[in-house]
């Protein structure tokens, strides 16, 4: 190994949290090293939010075309060219990779390409060739898709494999019940694939406000997504008709071109040299941190998907920046409060949600304290459809002041509505503050300030 190079701060992982923290620390004058394997930007930029949202945009355009017919446009279907879309998408992502590299260079962060591993509490090796040392080390190595441990699993693909596909699969089964499963199932269906969604229980999106998932389930079934509920996959095999899923329940689902495993993600902590620094993960591979991102070992910190914080890019970024503010910016109490984290699921239709579900609020505050307001309506955009997809909204309030503790919506445009409402709720908005706000008409978001 080469001689040790000394820094103030070493960050392992060039994804959302790691890059944000490295840049912020360097902006305070710290000497920062970033150790990164894989393309810069990590999951979000390369195999997560960005390619997913570009796919969602493509799917949105495809479905808008159906709507346009009602407005008098010609109903000739557009042809979607998967290959051309992919090459535009890949080129865009490459530009983003370049911008991240430029950003690091401009901030004077020293980039080491390779696998980082702890070599004690203050040292990190890069590909076992270079040794770096620093009093402060941040672990931000993110997560990776989980594969089922069943015969034939390798015949399927994970979300990384989905983004690498050169051609559109025509008959696809998506296995999983989380947001990635419903998002990718929705995208594929909107782009014309024949899609089944295989879930172990009766429904998907566990933990979300039930109104949202019930509405989405109805919409997906109307769109022609085949929901195979209460199915546990026992094996995947190939026969003369293509891929075939065998279920523990005894039946099977065959004739498939592709099977997408979207059954969760696990933190990438197994090859980080944690033992060398006296660190250990919990049984699921996560690192424990306190509200300041401190691990139990002094001088070693963790942010993002390797912690149990919500696995979202803005959460990883905010945690990474706040940590740097605290360690190098003189802001000793700076930390992330990830309660009231707003979230959008880019399903078809999209879901926007912040705060507690009605069930959570009733459990926390008791039935007498909780009052909910709901609405379900046809948005004006869909006025000319014979069977229009509806929009649904719900406010969860508590106490005599009716403080808003949850806001949930599903329907056209909600993905862009949520951010401002999340600010208001964070500031302690009450129902009457919403009522006192003049509506913007005609929009769907006005419904939130006119609910009775
Ligand atoms: C399909 C999909 C869609 C998503 N959509 C959204 C969305 O719409 N909105 C949203 O907010 N979030 C979304 N996410 C989640 C989001 O991508 C993650 O929460 C976020 O990227 C986590 O950031 P991170 O910094 O913890 O890790 P990552 O971004 O995963 O970065 C970790 C980096 O560390 C590198 N690395 C790992 N081990 C080492 C090592 N030992 N040495 C050097 N480098 C290493 C990895 O290669 C990777 O580049 C999505 C994720 C997926 C998979």
Q: Is residue 333 part of a domain?
A: no
Gap between the Cα atoms of 344 and 56, Å rounded:
12
Residue 4 confidence (pLDDT): 79
Evaluated on CA atoms 260, 46, 33, 291, the torsion sign reads negative
Range of the domain at 161: 153-263
Residue 433 confidence (pLDDT): 98
The strand pair at 143-145 and 265-267 is best described as antiparallel
Q: Is the pTM of this model over 0.90?
A: yes
Whether residues 181 and 208 share a domain: the answer is yes
Asked if residue 178 belongs to a known ligand binding site, the reply is yes
User: 158 CA distance to ligand 1 centroid (A)?
Assistant: 14
User: 313 CA distance to ligand 1 centroid (A)?
Assistant: 7
Residue 28 confidence (pLDDT): 98
Share above pLDDT 70 across residues of the chain, in percent, rounded to a whole number: 99
- CA 423 to chain CA centroid, Å, is 20
Residues across the chain: 452
Q: What is the CATH number of the domain that holds 104?
A: 3.50.50.60
Calculate the average pLDDT of the chain.
Answer: 96
Gap between the Cα atoms of 206 and 42, Å rounded:
27
Whether residues 130 and 270 share a domain: the answer is yes
Pocket-testing residue among 10, 12, 13, ligand 1, by greatest number of atoms within 8 A of Cβ: 13
Torsion of CA 45, 48, 50, 54, to 10 degrees: 150
b or e along 20-55 (b: 16 or more beta carbons within 10 Å of the residue's beta carbon)? bbbbbbbbbebbbbbbbebbbbbbbbbbbbbbbbbb
Q: Is residue 159 part of a domain?
A: yes
Whether residues 208 and 297 share a domain: the answer is no
Residue 297 confidence (pLDDT): 98
Across 257-275, average pLDDT: 97
Residue 66 confidence (pLDDT): 83
Whether residues 73 and 204 share a domain: the answer is no
Whether residues 321 and 195 share a domain: the answer is no
Q: Give the C-alpha distances (Å, rounded to integers) separating 325 from 7, 22, 404, 451.
A: 17, 11, 31, 41
Q: What is the CATH number of the domain that holds 433?
A: 3.30.390.30
Whether residues 394 and 365 share a domain: the answer is yes
Last residue of a domain, one of 210, 239, 263: 263
Q: Is the pLDDT of residue 74 over 90?
A: no
One DSSP character per residue, 244-293 reads EEEETTS-EEEEESEEEE-S-EEES-TTS-GGGGT----TTSPPP--TT-
Evaluated on CA atoms 93, 42, 346, 409, the torsion sign reads negative
Whether residues 248 and 289 share a domain: the answer is no
Residue 2 confidence (pLDDT): 64
Q: Is residue 343 part of a domain?
A: no
- What is the per-residue pLDDT across 93-126, written as a single tens digit (0 to 9) for each? 999 999 999 999 999 999 999 999 999 999 999 9
Angle between helices 16-27 and 82-106 (to 10 degrees): 30
Residue 345 confidence (pLDDT): 98
CB 225 within 8 A of CB 195: yes
Q: Give the C-alpha distances (Å, rounded to integers) separating 84 from 46, 129, 168, 239.
A: 18, 40, 11, 31
Q: Is the pLDDT of residue 79 over 90?
A: no
One DSSP character per residue, 335-392 reads ----TT--EEE--SS-EEEEE--HHHHHHHH-GGGEEEEEEEE--GGGTT-SSPPPEE
Asked if residue 359 belongs to a known ligand binding site, the reply is no
Across 26-32, average pLDDT: 98
Whether residues 215 and 253 share a domain: the answer is yes
Q: Is the pLDDT of residue 214 over 80?
A: yes
Gap between the Cα atoms of 141 and 428, Å rounded:
35
Q: Is residue 364 part of a domain?
A: yes
pLDDT grade for 189, boundaries at 50, 70 and 90? very high
User: 38 CA distance to ligand 1 centroid (A)?
Assistant: 11
Gap between the Cα atoms of 46 and 50, Å rounded:
7
The complex's ipTM works out to 0.99
One DSSP character per residue, 59-108 reads HHHHHHHHHHHHTT---PPPPP-HHHHHHHHHHHHHHHHHHHHHHHHHTT
Last residue of a domain, one of 263, 286, 319: 263
Tell me which residues have their CB closer than 6 angstroms to ligand 1. 12-18, 35-38, 42-44, 47-49, 52, 115-116, 140-143, 159, 180, 268, 272, 304-305, 311-314, 316
Beta bridge partners of 137: 10, 300
Across 420-446, average pLDDT: 97
Whether residues 15 and 132 share a domain: the answer is yes
Catalytic positions are 441
Gap between the Cα atoms of 179 and 346, Å rounded:
8
Pocket-testing residue among 15, 281, 315, ligand 1, by greatest number of atoms within 8 A of Cβ: 15
Q: Could you give the number of structural domains in the chain?
A: 3
Whether residues 31 and 141 share a domain: the answer is yes
Asked if residue 365 belongs to a known ligand binding site, the reply is no
Residue 91 confidence (pLDDT): 98
Whether residues 26 and 133 share a domain: the answer is yes
Whether residues 119 and 181 share a domain: the answer is no
């Amino acid at each position: 190994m080469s001689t040790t190079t000394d820094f103030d701060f070493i960050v392992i992982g060039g994804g959302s949290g790691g890059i944000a923290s490295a840049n912020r620390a360097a902006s305070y004058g710290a000497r920062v090293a970033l150790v990164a394997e894989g393309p810069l930007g990590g999951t979000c930029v390369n195999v997560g939010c960005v390619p997913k949202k570009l796919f969602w945009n493509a799917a949105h355009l495809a479905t808008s075309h159906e709507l346009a017919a009602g407005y008098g446009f010609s109903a000739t279907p557009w042809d979607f060219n998967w290959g051309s879309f992919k090459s535009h998408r890949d080129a865009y992502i490459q530009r983003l990779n370049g911008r991240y590299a430029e950003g690091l260079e401009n901030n004077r962060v020293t980039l080491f390409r390779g696998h980082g591993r702890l070599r004690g509490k203050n040292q990190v090796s890069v590909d076992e060739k270079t040794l770096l040392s620093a009093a402060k080390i941040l672990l931000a190595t993110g997560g990776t898709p989980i594969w089922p441990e069943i015969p034939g699993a390798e015949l399927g693909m994970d979300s990384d494999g989905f983004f690498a596909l050169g051609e559109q699969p025509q008959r696809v089964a998506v296995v999983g019940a989380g947001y990635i499963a419903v998002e990718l199932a929705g995208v594929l269906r909107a782009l014309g694939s024949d899609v089944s969604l295989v879930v172990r229980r009766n429904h998907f999106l566990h933990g979300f406000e039930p109104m949202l998932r019930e509405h989405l389930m109805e919409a997906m079934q109307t769109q022609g997504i085949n929901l195979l509920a209460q199915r546990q996959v026992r094996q995947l095999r190939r026969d003369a008709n293509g891929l075939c899923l065998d279920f523990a329940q005894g039946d099977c689902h065959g004739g498939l071109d592709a099977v997408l495993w979207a059954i969760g993600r696990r933190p990438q902590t197994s090859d980080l040299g944690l033992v060398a620094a006296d660190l250990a993960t919990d049984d699921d591979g996560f690192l424990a941190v306190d509200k300041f991102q401190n691990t139990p070992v002094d001088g070693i910190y963790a942010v993002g998907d390797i912690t149990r914080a919500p696995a979202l890019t803005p959460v990883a970024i905010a945690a990474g920046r706040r940590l740097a503010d605290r360690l190098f910016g003189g802001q000793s109490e700076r930390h992330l409060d990830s309660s009231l984290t707003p979230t959008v699921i880019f399903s078809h239709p999209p879901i926007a949600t912040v705060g507690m579900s009605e069930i959570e609020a009733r459990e926390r505050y008791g039935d007498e304290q909780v009052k909910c307001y709901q609405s379900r309506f046809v948005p004006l955009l869909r006025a000319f459809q014979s069977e229009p997809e509806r929009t649904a909204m719900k406010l969860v309030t508590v106490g005599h002041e009716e403080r808003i503790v949850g806001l949930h919506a599903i329907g056209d445009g909600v993905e862009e509505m949520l951010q401002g409402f999340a600010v208001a709720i964070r500031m302690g908005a009450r129902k009457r503050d919403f009522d006192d706000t003049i509506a913007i008409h005609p929009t769907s978001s006005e419904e939130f300030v006119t609910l009775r």
